[in-house]
Every structure is written in C-alpha cells, then in structure tokens.
C-alpha cells in the first residue's frame, strides 16, 4: 500500500510542477488573476494561485455508480457535464457557508468535519442530496430525460428544487427570471423569524420597530437564510456580445462570486476566474471511477480536487448561454452585492442584467419555494420501473456525443 501511495503522491507532485511551468506561459506582467472574488498577483503569488484553484471541489464524469432510477445509466460520461458544473458551483457555496472563502485545502491533511459532510452531499448515490442521481431525476420535472444534456438554467432550477430537501445547509436558492433580480423577493425568501418562544408567530419579518433595534433585542429580528443567487443569462445570439465582457469579468471580482456555468454547446465548464480576456475554468470532462464513503464515514478526496494545470479560454469563445452564481451568507453580504451591481453592472449602456427593488407588477406574484408535502426525497419521485417505462427509454438513456 505504501508504494501505491507514494506513486500517487509523485504523480500529483508532477502535476504541480506542470502547473507552475504552465503559468510561466502567461506574460510576466503585474496583471491580477481573479479567482472567485480573490485577487492574486501573477508575478509573485503563483503558489497561492495554485492552492486557491486546487482547493475548489472538482466534480467530473464518473462510472460504475448504481444505475440511475434502478435501470438507467451507471455513468454520466457524455451527458452529465453541466450537472457536474452545477455541483461544483453549489459545493463552493457550501464551502463558503461552513468554512469561509479563505479556507484552504491541502492533500492528505485532516479536514474539518464540515468539509467531509459537504463532500458526502455530492457522492454518486441515490441517497445523497445533490448526487447525479438526484439531479438527473429532478431534471425530468424540467422536461429533461435522464441521460439528456442540461443547459445552465435547467441545472439552476434543479438545484433550487433539491435545496428544499437539504435541511442541514438550509439554503435559499433564487433563480432570476427575465434577466432581472428582484431585491424585494429575495428579502421575502431569505428573512425568516428565529425560533423563539417569545416571538409572535403572526408578526411579519419586516415589522422592526426602532425601539426593538435600539435595545438590540433579537426577538423580532429576522434571521437570514444563506442565499444562493443564480442569474441565467443569454449574452448574445450565436456568440457572446463583446459589450458584455467587462461586466461579466466584474462579477468574478465580487466577494460573493461563485463563478459561472457555461462553455460551448454540449460542453460545459465551471468558470472560476479570469486573467486579462481569458477565463479560467474547471473541466468536468474526465471520467473517474465512483468513490463511496469509507466505513468510518470519511471520503477519500484525492480525486475531488484538480491538481492539473488550470485551463483557459478566450472570453469571446464562450457560448452566450451562461449562469452567474453568487453566495450571500448574511443580509449585509446581499446588500453589499446590490451596491456592487449598481456600481459596476448597471452603469453599462447595455446592461447584462437588471436589479430592481420591487416585484414587477406585470409578473405573477412571488411565492417563495416550499418543500412539497411528501416524505420522499427527489430521487424517489421517479423510482419504480413502471414509472421509468412510461418514459421513452431509448431517448432517455442515449449517451450524447460531446
């Protein structure tokens, strides 16, 4: 066993060397690299940049997991790349929620128990809340057959639904409509009354009196559900419109940034930052074998971090269909995000998206998503052979070429 461990170690050390050499290809300038709201000076902070990128959870195609729905595919190779990118974005939100953006990962170093628990949310098992099984089957309700490629908006809708069953993380997931983020709706969804015996059940969250606030009384102060904010966008017709480039890059500078889902048709990537006009991304198009939790409940995380050289693509090669992600742990984080959007996004003549205070009157009323009154999880919504046979199986399980 020792020799195997050593060979694995040397393999990864080689990859770190490759990474360093790869970065030498960048111009030796004082330009900043931005990764999920943090900046690195390329000239002097290459090792910090490496560790920041490798700390992100990396989800790829897997094979040899239990068949989805009992009789479906046991690998997502060729069709699950956008689902894996959605998992990566959500995992980054959970890391920020429990460990903070500055948390760093080192291989073979004992990690906090929250880290292990986050990782277990994404294992390729039917009973894990954000597994490929849960996502693929929840996608059926969004009109996507199992084995069919998802776009960024579909993944966002699926995550919104699955989060309702995730009591540990207790996220509020808001997916914007019509390129518009509504502040009023988000505050309605995220402000929740704390469980307190002396809190009147019928007092609305917004009814804060000056006296309550001045006394520092928390009885009527609404708590804030951590917010995962996803903004699906179309930034052009067949290719990205150059007028959006600066605003798009600005989003990676925001401390709330969770990056972006996108890529090319049928070829999804998780974009985590940029240097100049090149986007830096994690690529899910590697097929690895299914990894399960060990008997003691821990997960061997060796294959869940990318230690290879970071991949890049010119921003103008991006498909115009993308989804931006942001995480606001507290209300002040959301207020700060709104200020940054006002300052950096809304200043453009052609705005990438809109931020409005009030719910548009011509829209249907906003109803915060609620957990369905069922005792099953998403994976069990479609769990019997009879239900699966109602679908056209030949189409459902066709592996799409990449």
Q: How far is CA 76 from the centre of its chain?
A: 18
In DSSP terms, 355 is beta-bridged to 181
- Spatial separation of the C-alpha atoms in residues 271 and 252, rounded to whole Å: 9
How far CA 21 is from CA of 233, 249, 279, 308, in Å, comes to 35, 25, 19, 11
* CB atoms near residue 338 (< 10 Å): 16
Question: Which residue out of 285, 301, 338, 383 is catalytically annotated?
Answer: 285
E strands in 82-188 = 172-175, 180-182
Contact 284, 35 (CB under 8 A): no
- Spatial separation of the C-alpha atoms in residues 135 and 140, rounded to whole Å: 9
In DSSP terms, 278 is beta-bridged to 275, 314
Q: Is 396 a catalytic residue?
A: no
Mention every residue, 6+ apart, whose C-beta is less than 8 A from residue 122: 57, 59, 87, 91, 128, 130, 131
Question: Which residue out of 76, 166, 185, 283 is catalytically annotated?
Answer: 283
Question: Which residue out of 76, 81, 133, 185 is catalytically annotated?
Answer: 81
- Here the tokens at position 83 are 């689902």
Contact 248, 34 (CB under 8 A): no
Q: Is 81 a catalytic residue?
A: yes
Work out the angle at residue 28's Cα, subtended by the Cα atoms of residues 23 and 34, and round it to the nearest 5 degrees. Answer: 65
Catalytic residues: 81, 283, 285
């Amino acid at each position: 066993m020792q020799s195997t461990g050593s060979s694995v170690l040397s393999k990864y050390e080689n990859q770190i060397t490759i990474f360093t050499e790869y970065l030498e290809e960048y111009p030796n300038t004082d330009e900043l690299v931005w990764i999920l709201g943090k900046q690195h000076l390329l000239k002097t902070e290459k090792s910090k940049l490496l560790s920041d990128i490798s700390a992100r959870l990396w989800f790829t195609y897997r094979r040899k997991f239990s068949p989805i729905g009992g009789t479906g595919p046991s690998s997502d190779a060729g069709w699950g790349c956008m689902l894996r990118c959605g998992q990566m974005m959500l995992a980054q939100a959970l890391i920020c929620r429990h460990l903070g953006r500055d948390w760093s990962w080192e291989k073979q170093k004992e990690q906090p128990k929250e880290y292990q628990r986050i990782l277990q949310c994404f294992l390729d098992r039917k009973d894990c809340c954000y597994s490929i099984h849960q996502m693929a089957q929840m996608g059926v309700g969004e009109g996507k057959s199992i084995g069919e490629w998802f776009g960024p908006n579909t993944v966002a809708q699926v995550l919104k639904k699955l989060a309702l069953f995730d009591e540990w993380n207790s996220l509020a997931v808001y997916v914007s409509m019509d390129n518009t983020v509504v502040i009023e709706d988000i505050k309605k969804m995220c402000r929740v009354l704390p469980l307190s015996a002396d809190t009147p059940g019928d007092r609305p969250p917004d009814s804060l009196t000056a006296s309550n606030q001045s006394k520092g009384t928390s009885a009527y102060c609404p708590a804030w559900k951590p917010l995962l904010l996803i903004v699906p966008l179309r930034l052009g017709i067949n290719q990205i419109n150059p007028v959006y480039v600066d605003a798009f890059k600005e989003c990676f500078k925001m401390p709330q940034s969770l990056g972006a889902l996108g890529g090319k048709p049928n070829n999804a990537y998780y974009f985590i930052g940029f240097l100049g006009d090149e986007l830096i991304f994690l690529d899910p198009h590697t097929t690895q074998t299914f990894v399960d939790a060990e008997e003691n409940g821990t997960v061997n995380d060796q294959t869940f971090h990318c230690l290879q050289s970071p991949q890049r693509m010119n921003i103008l090669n991006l498909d115009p269909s993308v989804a931006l992600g942001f995480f606001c742990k507290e209300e002040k984080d959301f207020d700060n995000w709104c200020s940054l959007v006002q300052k950096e996004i809304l200043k453009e003549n052609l705005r990438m998206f809109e931020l409005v205070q009030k719910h548009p009157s011509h829209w249907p009323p906003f109803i915060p998503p609620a957990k369905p009154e069922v005792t099953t999880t998403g994976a069990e919504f479609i769990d019997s052979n009879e239900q699966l046979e109602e679908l056209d199986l030949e189409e459902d399980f066709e592996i799409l070429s990449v």
